[in-house]
Structure 1
Amino acid sequence: MSTNQPIIIKRVKKVVGGHHGGAWKIAFADFAVAMMAFFLVMWLLSSATPEQKKAISGYFQDPIGFSSSASPYVIDLGGTPTPAPDNTLNPELPEDSSMPQMDPDEDLDGLMEQLEQERLQMLLLELQAKVDENDMLRPYREQIHLSITQEGLRIQIVDDEKRPMFALGSARLQTYFEDILYMMAGSIRSVPNKISIGGHTDAKPYSGQADFGNWELSSGRANAARRALHAGGLEDNQVARVAGYASSVLFDRKNPYSPVNRRIDIVVLTKKAQQDLEEQAEEADAGTEAQPSTAPAGRPARERMNLFEDGLLQLEQGRG
């Protein structure tokens, strides 16, 4: 027995163009242009002054009257020229006004000094934190004095009878004192300021050779500190001065023989202090009259700037 089943024929209607047509591109282009115009208007409104916004508002409220009679507001958007303001209603301030005149250069200098002081204060806190957090350096924190002065950040490392910085009568550094200088060198080199290094002794006479005394000893110790800082990463061009002061500037004036008077003084100079130092050096080179010195008779009046290697050898020989 045969059954007649219907035959279904599916015809697929081909759409010309399909999703590859260009109609959507036209709609998208119109949308993009509209969005660009919208954001352009928003940008103009955000950058317009209140007077300009008021003028635009006046134009849209009465465009015909606005165009024929020019802008009734302060800002003119293309009409007839805006008349000059009446000075009688808005008199200008006289030149000899009592209002203070600010000098831009002075403001800039003041700002630079403030930034420099903040930088030195941050350096002080960083050094203090290193000393407090380092187990090897913490025992010596009582010998390290940090302070901000007019010249800059002053770092004074004083001597102690139980923990001397140098060998007796010598410029040879103790190991733990080298560690302190190595630690400080990394922080000091991070700032653009130059430094001044000074060596100090107590008032006890030096018992070495006749050609050497506390002036030479203090200069040698200052130079030894400079070499240790250089070994720790400090560049030589960051050192502005290395000087020996002997016992002319005591830390403890009431007790000139106190061990705290034997110290190394490192000053991270401010820009002004550095300029003053350079001017003094130029005056000395030009042969101008030197400043009075507290050096004893028979010693040079100026501070020792460096101690040469042959002087160090003689100093070591004097110890023996």
Structure 2
Amino acid sequence: MDNNQPIIVKRVKKIAGGHHGGAWKIAFADFATAMMAFFLVMWLMTTATPEQKLAISGYFQDPVGFSEGASPYVIDLGGTPVLAPDKTLNPEVRDTLSEEKPQDPSDDVVESMAEQIERERLELLLQELQNKVEDNPQLNKFKDQILFEITQDGLRIQILDAENRPMFALGSAQLQPYFEDILLIMADTIKDVPNKISVSGHTDAKPFASGGGDFGNWELSAGRANAARRTLVAGGYPEEQVARVVGYASSALFDRNDPLNPVNRRIDITVLTKKAQRAIESEQDGEEGEADGEVAPGASLPSATPAGTGEPLQPRELRERLNIFEEGALRFDQPAP
């Protein structure tokens, strides 16, 4: 019994929250609150108008005088800065508030902002169309024949012809099935934007005419552009959104160095800007005025004269021939571009 050693038991008391306890959480919460308040003040300063900033300045310079003649708050419930007249200690603030009035933005500024928004919309449409071409296996096979470009008039979609993949049947405005599929997919995308479109047809420089010489590249390009329009409308594109359908023949070649290059045979679909749309509508209004007998000074009335003759066609005869051509009932002696 005398040799027994005393047994010592040590108990360690654990403090909840780690070594430093929970005090750091309170400090961090205070810091986060202060930062939130700071950024809130910075945001309010960037969104406040000059008048509101002057009102805030007047309030901090003389809070008592500021509140005697008006609301004790810098901004009332209606959102209008209230400043007691003749009470502020800073006369420059009072004079500035009385002289400065909100001004409406000028027409140029509004138009510039509208053009910027419209351009961004067209860029988004361009990106969406490019993604469709990349993701759609049916379109991806023809991606080398589909070009996108944002021009001054809007987003231009060019569908080019190829030697081994022509868009139309030889010598007519009849679309090939794969070209119809391309137009239907395009229609499903461009119909989501409110802008109107312009459809134009182009040929190469190879001379082409029917046996009688009454129809050539001009009529062929116009007929093909109109066939593209009908396909777009069949794909769900609103017909009233088509601003213009026109044929250019070979007057606007894609490859000027090689006028016979197949890429010169193409269909252009331009998603017009509002400015370009207004220009087209003004041109059409002028043409309607001339058709009603109002001829512009220095302008001459158009005439329809078959090639090789000096006799103009009668309107009824011209319409009949154009209708026959549009339905693809003509037979051509020479291969068409």
| TM-score band, normalised by shorter chain | 0.5 to 0.7
Q: Which letter maps to 1:76? A: G
Aligned to 1:39: none
Deviation at 1:289, TM superposition (A): 5.8
Q: Which has the larger radius of gyration?
A: 1
Instruction: Tell me if structure 2 keeps the 8 A contact 1:199–1:222.
Output: yes
Supply the RMSD in Å over aligned alpha carbons: 3.7
- Structure 2 distance, partners of 1:156, 1:124, is 12
Deviation at 1:103, TM superposition (A): 4.6
Structure 1 gap ranges (5+): 1-45, 59-70, 96-100, 301-306
| TM-score, with structure 1 as normaliser | 0.67
Matched, 1:216 2:223: no
Structure 1 residues 317 and 77, CA, compared in 2 at 3 Å: closer, same or farther?
Answer: closer
Instruction: Tell me if structure 2 keeps the 8 A contact 1:127–1:187.
Output: yes
Aligned to 1:267: 270
- Aligned to 1:166, the other structure's residue is in SS state coil
Instruction: Tell me if structure 1 keeps the 8 A contact 2:169–2:175.
Output: yes
Aligned to 2:167: 165
- Aligned to 2:206, the other structure's residue is in SS state coil
Structure 1 residues 148 and 75, CA, compared in 2 at 3 Å: closer, same or farther?
Answer: farther
Structure 1 residues 244 and 291, CA, compared in 2 at 3 Å: closer, same or farther?
Answer: farther
Further displaced range: 207-216 or 108-117: 207-216
Structure 2 gap ranges (5+): 1-43, 45-51, 72-83, 291-295, 313-320
Q: Which letter maps to 1:117? A: R
Deviation at 1:74, TM superposition (A): 8.4
Aligned to 2:197: 195
Further displaced range: 255-264 or 283-292: 283-292
Q: 1:129 aligns with which of 124, 128, 131?
A: 131
Instruction: Tell me if structure 1 keeps the 8 A contact 2:200–2:248.
Output: yes
- Structure 2 distance, partners of 1:160, 1:128, is 20
Structure 1 residues 291 and 85, CA, compared in 2 at 3 Å: closer, same or farther?
Answer: farther
Deviation at 1:76, TM superposition (A): 3.0
Structure 1 residues 86 and 146, CA, compared in 2 at 3 Å: closer, same or farther?
Answer: closer
Deviation at 1:114, TM superposition (A): 0.3
- Aligned to 1:137, the other structure's residue is in SS state helix
- Aligned to 1:147, the other structure's residue is in SS state strand
Matched, 1:317 2:330: yes
Q: 2:244 aligns with which of 217, 241, 244?
A: 241
Structure 1 residues 81 and 229, CA, compared in 2 at 3 Å: closer, same or farther?
Answer: closer
Structure 1 residues 267 and 85, CA, compared in 2 at 3 Å: closer, same or farther?
Answer: same
Aligned to 1:180: 182
- Aligned to 1:318, the other structure's residue is in SS state coil
Further displaced range: 282-291 or 128-137: 282-291
Instruction: Tell me if structure 1 keeps the 8 A contact 2:149–2:157.
Output: yes
Q: Which letter maps to 1:312? A: E
- Structure 1 distance, partners of 2:230, 2:260, is 27
Percent identical: 49
Deviation at 1:169, TM superposition (A): 1.2
Question: Deviation digits for residues 61-108 of structure 1, max 9, x if unmatched?
Answer: xxxxxxxxxx3x586349x9736989799887xx9xxxxx99532221
| TM-score, with structure 2 as normaliser | 0.64
- Structure 2 distance, partners of 1:89, 1:81, is 10
Aligned to 1:286: 289
- Aligned to 2:170, the other structure's residue is in SS state coil
